[in-house]
Amino acid sequence: MTIENAKKAAGRAAADLIKNDMIVGLGTGSTANYFIEALSFRVKQGLYLKAVVPSSKRSHDLAKKLGLPAQDINQVPYIDITVDGADEIDPLKRMIKGGGGAHVREKILAVNSREMVVIIDETKRVSKVGVGKLPVEILFFGSPATRNALEKKGYFGKWRLNEDGSFFITENTNLIYDVVFDTPPSYPEQVHEEMIHIPGVIDTGFFFDIAGRVVVGYFDGHFEIQ
């Protein structure tokens, strides 16, 4: 009974939702990896996919390694379904994503899909989003000024760093500023709106009105679809 069992259960259950002839968006992260692996297994059993559209190089490399037909988002006419994880999700299906630093691309995939299926382990459910960090992607140009503007509005945090102490750089060649709230915001939509109107802020890790079905995996290996 481990968190890995829960992630695997959610990933496998989501793979069973995929139908023939679909174009599937692939999220990024450990739970998304379990989905990609389970999807590959289904393809080997005979499932036909027109394409998969990865949200990051990591997901692209895994998809290609497993024999999935990976294509760039600019190469496909539409996306039937995107399956991705979340760092937090509340009862209204408001989410925080970006722990892997790919939330901007993940959001583009999700909002351009007919449905976003969210796969989580049971620990990711919260009563209000904002318990953990909120990733904010920031343009490198003028980034100290952008950080100052965020702090003037009361949003404090830290630049995301690699293990060697260098700045974490997204695949969009931007920085990540991880905001930490004293308490989860009562109106996260307002926080998002305030942040994205600061010049230099590309996007936040808040996801609103995007999630469709939510697949929850549990430590004992069972799952629920909500």
> Between the CA of residue 171 and those of 55, 74, 219, what are the distances in Å?
10, 16, 32
- Do 61 and 165 lie in a common domain? no
- Do 33 and 79 lie in a common domain? yes
- Do 121 and 196 lie in a common domain? no
Q: What is the pLDDT of residues 110-144, one digit of tens each?
A: 999 999 999 999 999 999 999 999 999 999 999 99
Asked if the model's pLDDT at residue 153 lies above 80, the reply is: yes
Torsions phi, psi of 202, nearest 5?
-80, -50
- Do 80 and 108 lie in a common domain? yes
- Do 8 and 120 lie in a common domain? yes
pLDDT for position 1: 75
- Do 98 and 171 lie in a common domain? no
Q: Is 37 a catalytic residue?
A: no
Neighbours of 46 (CB within 10 A): 7
Q: For residue 163, give its domain range.
A: 133-205
- Do 20 and 56 lie in a common domain? yes
Using CA atoms, how far apart are residues 38 and 11, in angstroms rounded to an integer? 7
- Do 62 and 86 lie in a common domain? yes
Q: What is the pLDDT of residues 10-39, one digit of tens each?
A: 999 999 999 999 999 999 999 999 999 999
pLDDT for position 126: 97
Q: What is the pLDDT of residues 55-100, one digit of tens each?
A: 999 999 999 999 999 999 999 999 999 999 999 999 999 999 999 9
Of the listed 106, 115, 163, 193, which one is catalytic? Answer: 106
Domain count, the chain: 2
Length, in residues, of the chain: 226
- Do 84 and 146 lie in a common domain? no
Section 162-188 average pLDDT: 97
- Enter the DSSP assignment of 161: B
- Do 145 and 35 lie in a common domain? no
Look over the chain and give the mean of its residue pLDDT values, rounded to a whole number.
Answer: 97
- Do 160 and 68 lie in a common domain? no
Q: What percent of the chain has pLDDT over 90?
A: 99
pLDDT for position 138: 98
pLDDT for position 161: 98
Task: Give me the torsion for CA of 128, 207, 66, 19, rounded to 10°.
Answer: 100
